[in-house]
Structure 1
Protein backbone atom coordinates (compact mmCIF):
# COMPACT_ATOMS: atom_id res chain seq x y z
CA UNK A 1 0.00 0.00 0.00
CA UNK A 2 1.24 3.49 -0.84
CA UNK A 3 0.09 6.63 0.98
CA UNK A 4 0.64 10.20 -0.21
CA UNK A 5 0.48 12.92 2.46
CA UNK A 6 -0.58 16.44 1.53
CA UNK A 7 0.64 18.93 4.14
CA UNK A 8 -1.02 22.34 4.40
CA UNK A 9 0.80 25.63 4.93
CA UNK A 10 0.59 25.38 8.71
CA UNK A 11 2.35 22.00 8.80
CA UNK A 12 6.11 22.14 8.49
CA UNK A 13 7.59 19.51 6.14
CA UNK A 14 9.92 18.13 8.84
CA UNK A 15 8.76 14.53 8.58
CA UNK A 16 7.38 14.42 12.13
CA UNK A 17 3.76 14.70 10.99
CA UNK A 18 4.10 11.62 8.77
CA UNK A 19 5.99 9.66 11.43
CA UNK A 20 3.41 10.50 14.11
CA UNK A 21 0.46 9.55 11.92
CA UNK A 22 1.97 6.26 10.75
CA UNK A 23 2.96 5.37 14.33
CA UNK A 24 -0.64 5.84 15.45
CA UNK A 25 -1.80 3.65 12.55
CA UNK A 26 0.72 0.95 13.48
CA UNK A 27 -0.40 1.01 17.10
CA UNK A 28 -4.06 0.69 16.09
CA UNK A 29 -3.33 -2.23 13.74
CA UNK A 30 -1.25 -3.99 16.39
CA UNK A 31 -4.06 -3.62 18.92
CA UNK A 32 -6.98 -4.56 16.66
CA UNK A 33 -5.62 -6.85 13.95
CA UNK A 34 -3.46 -9.95 13.83
CA UNK A 35 -0.51 -8.60 11.87
CA UNK A 36 2.11 -5.88 11.93
CA UNK A 37 2.86 -3.16 9.38
CA UNK A 38 6.31 -1.89 8.47
CA UNK A 39 6.57 1.53 6.85
CA UNK A 40 9.12 3.04 4.49
CA UNK A 41 8.97 6.84 4.33
CA UNK A 42 10.22 8.86 1.36
CA UNK A 43 11.37 12.45 1.37
CA UNK A 44 9.13 15.51 1.10
CA UNK A 45 8.66 17.35 -2.17
CA UNK A 46 7.06 20.57 -3.34
CA UNK A 47 6.19 19.34 -6.84
CA UNK A 48 3.97 16.53 -8.15
CA UNK A 49 6.63 15.52 -10.65
CA UNK A 50 8.93 14.30 -7.87
CA UNK A 51 6.37 11.97 -6.30
CA UNK A 52 7.67 8.88 -8.21
CA UNK A 53 11.15 9.55 -6.84
CA UNK A 54 9.78 9.90 -3.30
CA UNK A 55 7.93 6.61 -3.73
CA UNK A 56 11.13 4.93 -4.96
CA UNK A 57 12.96 6.22 -1.86
CA UNK A 58 10.23 4.82 0.39
CA UNK A 59 10.58 1.40 -1.29
CA UNK A 60 14.34 1.42 -0.76
CA UNK A 61 13.90 2.35 2.92
CA UNK A 62 11.32 -0.42 3.36
CA UNK A 63 13.79 -2.92 1.90
CA UNK A 64 15.83 -2.50 5.10
CA UNK A 65 13.02 -4.10 7.14
CA UNK A 66 15.11 -7.22 7.93
CA UNK A 67 17.67 -4.95 9.60
CA UNK A 68 15.29 -2.67 11.49
CA UNK A 69 12.81 -5.43 12.37
CA UNK A 70 9.09 -6.01 11.89
CA UNK A 71 6.79 -3.10 12.57
CA UNK A 72 9.49 -0.51 11.88
CA UNK A 73 9.16 3.07 10.67
CA UNK A 74 12.08 3.65 8.31
CA UNK A 75 12.87 7.04 6.82
CA UNK A 76 16.01 8.76 5.60
CA UNK A 77 16.92 9.90 9.10
CA UNK A 78 16.80 6.30 10.33
CA UNK A 79 18.93 5.10 7.42
CA UNK A 80 21.49 7.84 8.04
CA UNK A 81 21.63 6.91 11.70
CA UNK A 82 22.71 3.40 10.76
CA UNK A 83 25.09 4.16 7.90
CA UNK A 84 28.04 4.20 10.27
CA UNK A 85 26.95 0.91 11.78
CA UNK A 86 28.71 -2.40 11.45
CA UNK A 87 26.73 -4.11 8.72
CA UNK A 88 24.78 -1.32 7.06
CA UNK A 89 27.48 -0.34 4.52
CA UNK A 90 27.41 -3.92 3.17
CA UNK A 91 23.67 -4.19 2.53
CA UNK A 92 23.85 -2.58 -0.91
CA UNK A 93 26.38 -5.27 -1.86
CA UNK A 94 23.84 -7.90 -0.81
CA UNK A 95 21.16 -6.34 -3.03
CA UNK A 96 23.60 -6.19 -5.96
CA UNK A 97 24.51 -9.85 -5.45
CA UNK A 98 20.85 -10.93 -5.41
CA UNK A 99 19.99 -8.86 -8.49
CA UNK A 100 22.94 -10.41 -10.31
CA UNK A 101 21.78 -13.91 -9.32
CA UNK A 102 18.22 -13.24 -10.48
CA UNK A 103 19.22 -11.79 -13.86
CA UNK A 104 21.73 -14.61 -14.45
CA UNK A 105 24.45 -12.23 -15.65
CA UNK A 106 27.26 -14.55 -14.54
CA UNK A 107 28.64 -12.12 -11.95
CA UNK A 108 27.02 -13.10 -8.67
CA UNK A 109 30.03 -15.14 -7.50
CA UNK A 110 32.30 -12.12 -8.03
CA UNK A 111 29.90 -10.02 -5.95
CA UNK A 112 29.92 -12.75 -3.30
CA UNK A 113 33.72 -12.73 -3.15
CA UNK A 114 33.75 -8.92 -2.82
CA UNK A 115 31.21 -9.07 0.00
CA UNK A 116 33.13 -11.80 1.82
CA UNK A 117 36.42 -9.92 1.55
CA UNK A 118 34.81 -6.73 2.84
CA UNK A 119 33.26 -8.56 5.79
CA UNK A 120 36.53 -10.32 6.53
CA UNK A 121 38.22 -6.96 7.12
CA UNK A 122 35.79 -6.11 9.89
CA UNK A 123 35.05 -7.66 13.25
CA UNK A 124 31.58 -9.10 12.95
CA UNK A 125 29.63 -10.98 15.58
CA UNK A 126 27.38 -13.97 15.01
CA UNK A 127 24.44 -11.57 15.25
CA UNK A 128 25.89 -9.36 12.50
CA UNK A 129 26.30 -12.31 10.13
CA UNK A 130 22.76 -13.45 10.95
CA UNK A 131 21.37 -10.04 10.05
CA UNK A 132 23.23 -10.02 6.73
CA UNK A 133 21.98 -13.53 5.97
CA UNK A 134 18.39 -12.58 6.81
CA UNK A 135 18.71 -9.58 4.52
CA UNK A 136 20.00 -11.85 1.74
CA UNK A 137 17.11 -14.29 2.26
CA UNK A 138 14.60 -11.41 2.23
CA UNK A 139 15.78 -10.18 -1.17
CA UNK A 140 16.20 -13.65 -2.67
CA UNK A 141 12.65 -14.43 -1.62
CA UNK A 142 11.41 -11.18 -3.13
CA UNK A 143 13.17 -11.82 -6.46
CA UNK A 144 12.57 -15.56 -6.87
CA UNK A 145 8.91 -15.45 -5.85
CA UNK A 146 8.30 -13.23 -8.89
CA UNK A 147 9.50 -15.98 -11.22
CA UNK A 148 7.71 -19.02 -12.66
CA UNK A 149 5.79 -21.42 -10.46
CA UNK A 150 8.51 -24.07 -10.71
CA UNK A 151 11.24 -21.67 -9.60
CA UNK A 152 9.03 -20.40 -6.77
CA UNK A 153 8.42 -23.92 -5.47
CA UNK A 154 12.08 -24.82 -5.77
CA UNK A 155 13.06 -21.80 -3.69
CA UNK A 156 10.27 -21.99 -1.11
CA UNK A 157 10.40 -25.74 -0.39
CA UNK A 158 14.08 -26.64 -0.81
CA UNK A 159 16.45 -23.70 -0.56
CA UNK A 160 14.84 -21.07 1.63
CA UNK A 161 14.58 -23.46 4.63
CA UNK A 162 18.23 -24.46 4.21
CA UNK A 163 19.36 -20.84 4.07
CA UNK A 164 17.29 -20.03 7.14
CA UNK A 165 19.02 -22.90 8.95
CA UNK A 166 22.34 -21.43 7.84
CA UNK A 167 21.61 -18.43 10.06
CA UNK A 168 21.77 -20.65 13.13
CA UNK A 169 24.63 -22.97 12.23
CA UNK A 170 27.46 -20.87 10.72
CA UNK A 171 29.78 -19.90 13.55
CA UNK A 172 32.68 -18.74 11.37
CA UNK A 173 32.63 -16.27 8.49
CA UNK A 174 34.60 -18.66 6.25
CA UNK A 175 32.08 -21.43 6.94
CA UNK A 176 29.19 -19.05 6.21
CA UNK A 177 30.74 -18.03 2.90
CA UNK A 178 31.52 -21.59 1.84
CA UNK A 179 28.01 -22.88 2.57
CA UNK A 180 26.33 -19.90 0.94
CA UNK A 181 28.34 -20.24 -2.27
CA UNK A 182 27.64 -23.98 -2.34
CA UNK A 183 23.87 -23.47 -1.96
CA UNK A 184 23.60 -20.69 -4.54
CA UNK A 185 25.81 -22.60 -6.98
CA UNK A 186 23.47 -25.56 -6.64
CA UNK A 187 20.35 -23.41 -7.00
CA UNK A 188 21.63 -21.42 -10.00
CA UNK A 189 21.43 -24.14 -12.71
CA UNK A 190 18.07 -25.33 -11.39
CA UNK A 191 16.58 -21.85 -11.65
CA UNK A 192 18.11 -21.53 -15.12
CA UNK A 193 16.56 -24.84 -16.14
CA UNK A 194 13.18 -23.65 -14.89
CA UNK A 195 13.60 -20.54 -17.00
CA UNK A 196 14.58 -22.46 -20.11
CA UNK A 197 11.59 -24.72 -19.75
CA UNK A 198 9.38 -21.77 -20.56
CA UNK A 199 8.59 -21.18 -24.24
CA UNK A 200 9.27 -17.45 -24.00
CA UNK A 201 12.66 -17.64 -22.28
CA UNK A 202 14.75 -17.50 -25.45
CA UNK A 203 12.64 -14.69 -26.90
CA UNK A 204 12.89 -12.52 -23.77
CA UNK A 205 16.66 -13.10 -23.68
CA UNK A 206 16.79 -11.84 -27.28
CA UNK A 207 14.87 -8.73 -26.22
CA UNK A 208 17.35 -8.16 -23.37
CA UNK A 209 20.30 -8.55 -25.75
CA UNK A 210 18.65 -6.13 -28.18
CA UNK A 211 18.36 -3.49 -25.45
CA UNK A 212 22.02 -3.95 -24.52
CA UNK A 213 23.15 -3.37 -28.12
CA UNK A 214 20.70 -0.56 -29.03
CA UNK A 215 20.40 1.44 -25.79
CA UNK A 216 21.98 4.45 -27.54
CA UNK A 217 19.03 4.72 -29.94
CA UNK A 218 16.78 7.58 -28.71
CA UNK A 219 13.79 5.96 -30.43
CA UNK A 220 14.18 2.67 -28.56
CA UNK A 221 10.93 1.95 -26.74
CA UNK A 222 8.73 -0.88 -25.56
CA UNK A 223 6.32 -0.30 -28.45
CA UNK A 224 9.11 -0.40 -31.01
CA UNK A 225 10.54 -3.67 -29.67
CA UNK A 226 7.04 -5.12 -29.40
CA UNK A 227 6.47 -4.38 -33.06
CA UNK A 228 9.77 -5.93 -34.01
CA UNK A 229 9.05 -9.17 -32.13
CA UNK A 230 5.35 -9.09 -32.99
CA UNK A 231 4.14 -9.10 -29.41
CA UNK A 232 1.65 -7.12 -27.38
CA UNK A 233 3.57 -4.40 -25.44
CA UNK A 234 1.84 -5.19 -22.14
CA UNK A 235 2.49 -8.91 -22.50
CA UNK A 236 6.13 -8.33 -23.42
CA UNK A 237 6.53 -6.02 -20.42
CA UNK A 238 4.99 -8.67 -18.14
CA UNK A 239 7.26 -11.43 -19.47
CA UNK A 240 10.35 -9.22 -19.13
CA UNK A 241 9.51 -8.41 -15.50
CA UNK A 242 8.89 -12.07 -14.68
CA UNK A 243 12.16 -13.13 -16.30
CA UNK A 244 14.53 -10.48 -14.96
CA UNK A 245 12.71 -8.89 -12.03
CA UNK A 246 12.89 -5.46 -13.61
CA UNK A 247 10.57 -3.46 -15.83
CA UNK A 248 11.65 -2.88 -19.42
CA UNK A 249 11.93 0.89 -18.92
CA UNK A 250 13.89 0.51 -15.68
CA UNK A 251 16.34 -1.89 -17.31
CA UNK A 252 16.85 0.42 -20.29
CA UNK A 253 17.43 3.35 -17.92
CA UNK A 254 19.93 1.35 -15.85
CA UNK A 255 21.93 0.32 -18.92
CA UNK A 256 22.05 3.92 -20.14
CA UNK A 257 23.10 5.33 -16.76
CA UNK A 258 25.78 2.66 -16.27
CA UNK A 259 27.30 3.56 -19.64
CA UNK A 260 26.99 7.28 -18.82
CA UNK A 261 28.89 6.72 -15.56
CA UNK A 262 31.63 4.88 -17.44
CA UNK A 263 31.98 7.67 -19.99
CA UNK A 264 32.04 10.34 -17.27
CA UNK A 265 34.82 8.53 -15.44
CA UNK A 266 36.88 7.21 -18.35
CA UNK A 267 36.63 10.02 -20.93
CA UNK A 268 36.76 13.81 -21.17
CA UNK A 269 33.66 14.00 -23.34
CA UNK A 270 31.33 16.92 -22.56
CA UNK A 271 28.11 16.00 -20.78
CA UNK A 272 25.95 16.81 -23.82
CA UNK A 273 27.99 14.39 -25.97
CA UNK A 274 27.62 11.67 -23.34
CA UNK A 275 23.88 12.30 -23.28
CA UNK A 276 23.71 11.69 -27.03
CA UNK A 277 25.81 8.53 -26.76
CA UNK A 278 23.40 6.96 -24.28
CA UNK A 279 20.22 7.77 -26.17
CA UNK A 280 19.12 11.23 -25.02
CA UNK A 281 18.22 13.85 -27.61
CA UNK A 282 17.87 16.60 -25.01
CA UNK A 283 20.64 17.04 -22.44
CA UNK A 284 18.17 18.38 -19.86
CA UNK A 285 16.35 15.02 -19.93
CA UNK A 286 19.66 13.27 -19.38
CA UNK A 287 20.45 15.58 -16.44
CA UNK A 288 17.09 14.83 -14.85
CA UNK A 289 17.36 11.05 -15.32
CA UNK A 290 20.95 10.96 -14.02
CA UNK A 291 20.16 13.02 -10.93
CA UNK A 292 17.05 10.98 -10.14
CA UNK A 293 19.01 7.75 -10.51
CA UNK A 294 22.27 8.63 -8.75
CA UNK A 295 21.33 11.60 -6.59
CA UNK A 296 23.70 14.10 -8.23
CA UNK A 297 23.91 15.78 -11.66
CA UNK A 298 26.40 14.22 -14.12
CA UNK A 299 28.85 17.11 -13.83
CA UNK A 300 28.95 16.87 -10.04
CA UNK A 301 29.33 13.09 -10.28
CA UNK A 302 32.44 13.54 -12.42
CA UNK A 303 33.90 16.23 -10.13
CA UNK A 304 33.24 14.25 -6.96
CA UNK A 305 34.97 11.19 -8.41
CA UNK A 306 37.94 13.27 -9.55
CA UNK A 307 38.30 14.74 -6.04
CA UNK A 308 38.27 11.25 -4.49
CA UNK A 309 40.89 10.02 -6.98
CA UNK A 310 43.16 12.99 -6.35
CA UNK A 311 42.67 12.73 -2.61
Structure 2
Protein backbone atom coordinates (compact mmCIF):
# COMPACT_ATOMS: atom_id res chain seq x y z
CA UNK A 1 0.00 0.00 0.00
CA UNK A 2 2.84 2.39 0.87
CA UNK A 3 4.48 1.83 -2.51
CA UNK A 4 1.20 2.31 -4.36
CA UNK A 5 0.58 5.57 -2.49
CA UNK A 6 4.14 6.72 -3.16
CA UNK A 7 3.73 6.05 -6.89
CA UNK A 8 0.34 7.75 -7.10
CA UNK A 9 0.12 10.47 -9.70
CA UNK A 10 -1.85 12.81 -7.46
CA UNK A 11 -3.48 13.01 -4.05
CA UNK A 12 -6.88 11.94 -5.42
CA UNK A 13 -5.42 8.65 -6.62
CA UNK A 14 -3.68 8.13 -3.26
CA UNK A 15 -6.91 8.94 -1.46
CA UNK A 16 -8.88 6.38 -3.45
CA UNK A 17 -6.22 3.73 -2.74
CA UNK A 18 -6.46 4.36 1.00
CA UNK A 19 -10.26 4.38 0.82
CA UNK A 20 -10.25 1.01 -0.99
CA UNK A 21 -7.99 -0.50 1.68
CA UNK A 22 -10.19 0.85 4.47
CA UNK A 23 -13.34 -0.51 2.80
CA UNK A 24 -11.68 -3.91 2.47
CA UNK A 25 -10.72 -3.88 6.16
CA UNK A 26 -14.24 -2.87 7.15
CA UNK A 27 -15.68 -5.74 5.09
CA UNK A 28 -13.30 -8.21 6.76
CA UNK A 29 -14.28 -6.91 10.21
CA UNK A 30 -17.97 -7.24 9.42
CA UNK A 31 -17.42 -10.76 8.15
CA UNK A 32 -15.42 -11.72 11.24
CA UNK A 33 -18.12 -10.32 13.53
CA UNK A 34 -20.89 -12.25 11.79
CA UNK A 35 -18.90 -15.50 12.03
CA UNK A 36 -18.23 -14.98 15.71
CA UNK A 37 -21.80 -15.76 16.75
CA UNK A 38 -23.34 -15.41 20.17
CA UNK A 39 -21.66 -15.91 23.52
CA UNK A 40 -24.43 -16.40 26.07
CA UNK A 41 -22.09 -16.07 29.04
CA UNK A 42 -20.72 -12.72 27.90
CA UNK A 43 -24.26 -11.58 27.03
CA UNK A 44 -25.31 -12.40 30.62
CA UNK A 45 -22.27 -10.50 31.90
CA UNK A 46 -23.20 -7.47 29.81
CA UNK A 47 -26.68 -7.56 31.33
CA UNK A 48 -25.15 -7.90 34.80
CA UNK A 49 -22.84 -4.94 34.17
CA UNK A 50 -25.79 -2.82 33.01
CA UNK A 51 -27.61 -3.64 36.25
CA UNK A 52 -24.62 -3.13 38.58
CA UNK A 53 -22.39 -0.49 36.91
CA UNK A 54 -23.16 1.99 39.71
CA UNK A 55 -21.58 -0.26 42.35
CA UNK A 56 -18.02 0.85 43.04
CA UNK A 57 -16.77 -2.69 43.64
CA UNK A 58 -17.78 -3.96 40.19
CA UNK A 59 -14.66 -5.54 38.76
CA UNK A 60 -13.36 -8.40 36.66
CA UNK A 61 -12.74 -10.32 39.87
CA UNK A 62 -16.34 -9.83 40.96
CA UNK A 63 -17.57 -11.07 37.58
CA UNK A 64 -15.30 -14.10 37.97
CA UNK A 65 -16.89 -14.95 41.33
CA UNK A 66 -20.41 -14.24 40.07
CA UNK A 67 -20.04 -16.37 36.92
CA UNK A 68 -17.66 -19.02 38.33
CA UNK A 69 -14.92 -18.35 35.78
CA UNK A 70 -11.37 -17.05 36.01
CA UNK A 71 -10.74 -13.32 35.52
CA UNK A 72 -8.21 -14.13 32.77
CA UNK A 73 -10.72 -16.25 30.86
CA UNK A 74 -13.44 -13.62 31.22
CA UNK A 75 -11.05 -10.89 30.08
CA UNK A 76 -10.08 -12.81 26.95
CA UNK A 77 -13.66 -13.78 26.08
CA UNK A 78 -14.96 -10.29 26.83
CA UNK A 79 -12.36 -8.67 24.57
CA UNK A 80 -13.00 -11.18 21.79
CA UNK A 81 -16.76 -10.73 21.94
CA UNK A 82 -17.08 -6.98 22.53
CA UNK A 83 -13.82 -5.86 20.88
CA UNK A 84 -12.90 -3.84 23.98
CA UNK A 85 -11.69 -4.70 27.41
CA UNK A 86 -13.90 -4.91 30.47
CA UNK A 87 -12.74 -1.69 32.12
CA UNK A 88 -13.26 0.39 28.96
CA UNK A 89 -16.75 -1.05 28.61
CA UNK A 90 -17.56 -0.30 32.26
CA UNK A 91 -16.22 3.25 31.95
CA UNK A 92 -18.31 3.83 28.82
CA UNK A 93 -21.47 2.65 30.61
CA UNK A 94 -20.70 4.89 33.59
CA UNK A 95 -19.90 7.94 31.45
CA UNK A 96 -23.14 7.49 29.47
CA UNK A 97 -25.09 7.28 32.72
CA UNK A 98 -23.35 10.38 34.06
CA UNK A 99 -24.28 12.31 30.92
CA UNK A 100 -27.95 11.60 31.55
CA UNK A 101 -27.61 12.68 35.19
CA UNK A 102 -25.71 15.85 34.26
CA UNK A 103 -28.74 17.06 32.34
CA UNK A 104 -30.30 17.73 35.75
CA UNK A 105 -28.62 20.96 36.83
CA UNK A 106 -29.67 20.46 40.46
CA UNK A 107 -27.51 17.34 40.91
CA UNK A 108 -24.00 17.95 42.20
CA UNK A 109 -21.10 16.45 40.25
CA UNK A 110 -19.86 14.72 43.43
CA UNK A 111 -23.25 13.04 43.86
CA UNK A 112 -23.30 12.00 40.21
CA UNK A 113 -19.82 10.50 40.48
CA UNK A 114 -20.92 8.48 43.50
CA UNK A 115 -24.19 7.45 41.83
CA UNK A 116 -22.36 5.87 38.90
CA UNK A 117 -19.79 3.98 40.96
CA UNK A 118 -16.90 6.39 41.55
CA UNK A 119 -15.75 6.76 45.14
CA UNK A 120 -13.24 9.41 44.13
CA UNK A 121 -14.69 12.46 42.38
CA UNK A 122 -11.27 13.43 40.99
CA UNK A 123 -11.03 10.06 39.28
CA UNK A 124 -14.47 10.62 37.74
CA UNK A 125 -13.51 14.12 36.56
CA UNK A 126 -10.31 12.83 34.93
CA UNK A 127 -12.08 9.91 33.27
CA UNK A 128 -14.99 12.04 32.05
CA UNK A 129 -12.61 14.59 30.51
CA UNK A 130 -10.54 11.82 28.89
CA UNK A 131 -13.57 10.15 27.32
CA UNK A 132 -15.60 13.23 26.31
CA UNK A 133 -13.00 15.95 25.87
CA UNK A 134 -14.74 18.22 28.36
CA UNK A 135 -15.35 18.47 32.07
CA UNK A 136 -18.71 17.38 33.50
CA UNK A 137 -19.54 21.05 34.14
CA UNK A 138 -18.75 22.00 30.55
CA UNK A 139 -20.84 19.05 29.34
CA UNK A 140 -23.73 20.09 31.57
CA UNK A 141 -23.62 23.70 30.33
CA UNK A 142 -23.57 22.51 26.72
CA UNK A 143 -26.43 20.05 27.31
CA UNK A 144 -28.53 22.68 29.08
CA UNK A 145 -27.91 25.27 26.36
CA UNK A 146 -28.86 22.71 23.68
CA UNK A 147 -31.98 21.80 25.63
CA UNK A 148 -32.84 25.48 26.07
CA UNK A 149 -32.29 26.04 22.34
CA UNK A 150 -34.70 23.20 21.50
CA UNK A 151 -37.26 24.58 23.93
CA UNK A 152 -37.07 27.99 22.24
CA UNK A 153 -37.50 26.42 18.80
CA UNK A 154 -40.72 24.72 19.92
CA UNK A 155 -42.35 27.99 21.00
Fold shared, TM-score > 0.5 on shorter chain? yes
What residue is the counterpart of 2:37 in the other structure? 195
Partner of residue 122, structure 1: none
Query: 1:144–1:218: structure 2 CA closer, same or farther, 3 Å change rule?
Result: farther
Provide the C-alpha distance between the structure 2 equivalents of 1:136 and 1:305, rounded to a whole number of angstroms.
35
Residue by residue, what CA displacement relative to the aligned partner does 1:138-196 show, whole Å, maximum 9, x if unpaired?
54533552x4xx80xxxxxxxxxxxxxxxxxxxxxxxxxxxxxxxxxxxxxxxxxx624
Correspondence for 1:272 among 94, 110, 120: 110
Over 3 Å counting, the alpha-carbon distance change for 1:135 and 1:268 in structure 2 is: farther
Higher helix share: 2
Q: 1:253 aligns with which of 91, 101, 107?
A: 91
1:231 and 2:69 matched: yes
Q: Give the Å deviation of 1:275.
A: 0.2
The change in CA–CA distance for 1:253 and 1:70 in structure 2 (over 3 A counts) is: farther
Is 2:105 the counterpart of 1:262? Answer: no
Conserved? CA contact 2:105–2:140, under 8 Å: no
More relative contact order, 1 or 2 (CA 8 Å, 6+ apart): 2
Q: 1:205 to 1:69 in 2, by over 3 A?
A: same
Q: Which residue of 2 aligns with 1:288?
A: 126
CA distance in 2, matches of 1:309, 1:292: 24
- Distance in 1 between residues matched to 2:135 and 2:97, nearest whole Å: 15
- Alignment gaps of 5+ in structure 2: 7-14, 150-155
Cα pair 1:217 1:279 within 8 Å, conserved = yes
Q: How far apart are 1:266 and its partner, in Å?
A: 4.0
Aligned position for 1:142: 29
CA-to-aligned-CA distance 1:73-123 (integer Å, 9 cap, x gap): xxxxxxxxxxxxxxxxxxxxxxxxxxxxxxxxxxxxxxxxxxxxxxxxxxx
> In angstroms, what is the RMSD of aligned CA positions?
3.1
Aligned length: 142
Q: CA deviation at 1:206?
A: 1.1
Cα deviation 1:44-77 (Å, max 9, x = unaligned): xxxxxxxxxxxxxxxxxxxxxxxx5556xxxxxx
Distance 1:226 1:253 in 2: 18
Asked if 2 retains the 8 angstrom alpha-carbon contact of 1:143 and 1:245, the reply is no
**Which residues of 2 match residues 198-213 of structure 1 at below 5 A?**
201-213=39-51
Contact 1:226 1:233 in 2 (8 A): yes
